[in-house]
A and B are shown apart, each in its own frame.
Chain A
């Protein structure tokens, strides 16, 4: 590529983003029920100001199936403003020669417990499972997040720019999840992804029945399903109570508003489509049951998490528009993980369903590119030929869709947030490392400059502070 050194603004694009934002505000005003309107813990995230950045002569995977050889990308005012063979370079731009290197969208991990199960893993830090009742839809993971978890910085060095923090899987309904930018600061709100919807963590199978089997139940899978259905029935009643109140308000005949119930607010939010469902489910037969529960109560399961047997029902997952967030090769640690196979991810992808590589692990999150590489090559050996450019959807675009943030991030397209990773080479190699990581256009990790690395409060002044991590 040959950069032109003059300013060029994507005016049309900026305009369309504004229009789009306007539309969605409008829609919200019309459909959001009263109980979902409040936003008591608003994001205080602020992007770091940066001069424009141009990375040139670089191999670009745009994250939605395209590869640009010897391309360039311009990050400006927090957004991707240009990419392709021919990119204008603003006069004040930081220019990075990407010869021999690769650029991809930042990795988005839609299954993490960083902050709620932080390092060090002391009992006092164990804040991820409210294992006191099988239905704790009223708890919010964001209230457990410790932003000083050093795991965030480690994940950043692996190219992770956004992540979803979930409650654990002890409960049928574990509580709300939250999506954050991987830029921890003083508070959870400082990293909260401003436009991201909430999620709810649900769990199938062994965990709820193991945790509650001797604590009043559920102690069987059938009681798990009864538990979901019972909760949805209550949520429907709550929805109706508020709908009636809203209608009465409209007609000017309303009395006292119904009493707020935090648990049912979250559940009704799911039925309203405001809160996305993230359901821990390993076995194919259990996922098939949940697809019917979903239809019975008219909600959408966004993503099955772990989904170790997704390959057995990949057609059903495609038909029902449900994503699967998977490991490349974890298996066997419990009975419901016994049928794990290495080709799960490519088989789900090949069926036309949405496949996601997730970590659920503070070590695994540091090299999700390698997890994708394993799944991609295992698929290839089994005759499932997927391009690397398509496979990158598992790491950025599909998790972004699963989290409801794809219009903002998850691919390299003009107008999107400049969440970008510069890799030392082909990111499907063990030896390749994230060299530079950008969040909203600011370089937040630079492998070549150890003095610039972020160090959490916890590690400050401790042994090996700022060491190669």
Chain B
């Protein structure tokens, strides 16, 4: 193990350097990189990004560093907007199984009969070890929410920053989630014939509730609770997207048909394993899709059409796609996108599926998703193509601050790379 000790020293000193510059949002010029702006400027080779006061000040196609800027030489590197976890439970769970409360899972509570009322904005834990573990891999933000309620809706999710600060919440009520696939049916009468009636009934009651006083002193005999009604009214107005998990082609068409009954709904499809079969209808309805492009097995009878080309075919039909559905390993979303590219998705669409498209779906484009003057300076310097499994994030910035590129996992690694047999491991830090 001796040969590794030198490396460790190098790693430690590198992270110390990063710490020392992380104190506040200074003026920074990142030069020489291939910049994926995700904006009109497209991909700029050998460009310069100027960051000031936590924002992107300028994107230049040359290497000029104005006075007063600290230069970071990123020659041969790639710069992208910070990646955003498209659908995660980050900050809501530390260890999934047999390890205490997981805020991403809800057992039915009387406040809600259909699951719409649950709201994760109160549950975010920015101290979770998953936050730095995800951040060091090029993620600056995440959409996070409930994975299971056993009811009709999976409650309301949020958007969080991964900067580790107490005020991690970027957006509450970022989406409402319902599963109309096999799992949804399983939880709702074990049949689509019950689930869809329950879903329609929930929305109808919410429409009615909008014109009623939902105070405790007024009678309310609805199937949904008052809290559910309050949560569903803005969904019906399109103020937050309704995420609909569906896999079977006909389940997807049923989901699209919701828009005919409730015209202001802002629909987003999730999973959509057979989406490619109805890609034109999805595109015509202008509905984006969040998916896992590696999902190519018939896990159930609603997924017989699973194919590795789902992402590419949807994109080709004009559907906006986002990639990244996981929590502990949401950091692998770039690999998933890379595999979508290997199976026909254009590379630029692969990068967009991890950044800009997610910002579009969740209404974050004022600040996130692209590298343009005035946008938040949340971005990543990569060693190379971020979709290549052998490349890595080298420096992450959130709001112009360079984030420490360390995590509990990296510290564990270094402890055991640097093990000193003369003392117990607890003394190696």
Give residues in A with beta carbon < 8 Å to B.
119-122, 150-151, 154, 206, 210, 311-312, 315, 329-335, 337-343, 347, 350-351, 362-363, 366-367, 370, 373-374, 376-378, 381-384, 428-433, 458-459, 462-464, 467-469
Contact A341 B413, beta carbon cutoff 8 Å: yes
| Interface CB pairs A-B, < 8 A, 26 | A120-B299, A120-B303, A154-B296, A206-B98, A312-B425, A331-B329, A331-B409, A334-B95, A334-B96, A334-B97, A334-B99, A343-B417, A363-B296, A367-B339, A370-B335, A370-B339, A382-B417, A383-B11, A428-B389, A428-B390, A430-B338, A430-B387, A430-B389, A432-B342, A463-B304, A468-B309
What residues of chain A lie closer than 8 Å to B274, measured between beta carbons? 463
> In the complex, given contacts A333-B97, A383-B6, what are 14 additional A-B residue pairs having Cβ atoms less than 8 angstroms apart?
A121-B299, A206-B97, A210-B97, A311-B413, A331-B409, A338-B95, A341-B413, A347-B417, A373-B390, A376-B390, A382-B7, A382-B413, A464-B307, A469-B306
Contact A382 B99, beta carbon cutoff 8 Å: no
Report the count of interface residues on B (CB-CB < 8 A).
Answer: 55
Residue B110 CB within 8 A of the other chain: no
Partner of B342, one of A151, A342, A433: A433
What residues of chain B lie closer than 8 Å to A340, measured between beta carbons? 409
Partner of A151, one of B295, B297, B329, B416: B297
- Please measure, in the bound complex, the distance between the C-alpha atom of A294 and the C-alpha atom of B303, giving whole angstroms: 45
A347 and B416 in contact (CB under 8 A), knowing A120-B300, A122-B300, A429-B389? yes
Contact A430 B299, beta carbon cutoff 8 Å: no
For window 323-355 of B, CB contacts with A under 8 Å fall at 328-329, 331-332, 335, 338-339, 341-343
Chain B: which residue is nearest A327 at the CB level? B329
- Please measure, in the bound complex, the distance between the C-alpha atom of A467 and the C-alpha atom of B3, giving whole angstroms: 50
How many A-B contacts if CB must be within 8 Å?
A: 151
- Please measure, in the bound complex, the distance between the C-alpha atom of A370 and the C-alpha atom of B389, giving whole angstroms: 7
Question: Which 6 pairs across A and B sit closest by C-beta, in order of nearness?
Answer: A383-B7, A430-B338, A377-B390, A332-B328, A334-B97, A464-B305
What residues of chain A lie closer than 8 Å to B335, measured between beta carbons? 370, 374, 430
Residue B298 CB within 8 A of the other chain: yes
What residues of chain B lie closer than 8 Å to A464, measured between beta carbons? 304-307
- Please measure, in the bound complex, the distance between the C-alpha atom of A374 and the C-alpha atom of B304, giving whole angstroms: 30
What residues of chain A lie closer than 8 Å to B309, measured between beta carbons? 467-468
What residues of chain B lie closer than 8 Å to A150, measured between beta carbons? 297-298
A429 and B97 in contact (CB under 8 A), knowing A151-B297, A341-B409? no
Contact A384 B409, beta carbon cutoff 8 Å: no
Give residues in B with beta carbon < 8 Å to A.
1, 3-4, 6-8, 10-11, 94-99, 130, 274, 277, 294-301, 303-309, 328-329, 331-332, 335, 338-339, 341-343, 387-392, 409-410, 412-413, 416-417, 425
What residues of chain B lie closer than 8 Å to A463, measured between beta carbons? 274, 277, 304-305
Tell me which of B297, B332, B409 has the highest count of chain A C-beta atoms within 10 A of its own C-beta: B297
What residues of chain A lie closer than 8 Å to B342, measured between beta carbons? 430-433
Contact A384 B416, beta carbon cutoff 8 Å: no
Task: State the majority secondary structure of interface residues on A.
Answer: loop
- Please measure, in the bound complex, the distance between the C-alpha atom of A432 and the C-alpha atom of B338, giving whole angstroms: 10
- Please measure, in the bound complex, the distance between the C-alpha atom of A151 and the C-alpha atom of B389, giving whole angstroms: 23
Contact A331 B328, beta carbon cutoff 8 Å: yes
What residues of chain A lie closer than 8 Å to B328, measured between beta carbons? 330-333
Contact A312 B389, beta carbon cutoff 8 Å: no
Contact B389 A468, beta carbon cutoff 8 Å: no
- Please measure, in the bound complex, the distance between the C-alpha atom of A119 and the C-alpha atom of B413, giving whole angstroms: 36
A383 and B130 in contact (CB under 8 A), knowing A464-B305, A467-B307? no
- Please measure, in the bound complex, the distance between the C-alpha atom of A343 and the C-alpha atom of B417, giving whole angstroms: 10
Contact B97 A351, beta carbon cutoff 8 Å: no
What residues of chain B lie closer than 8 Å to A331, measured between beta carbons? 328-329, 409
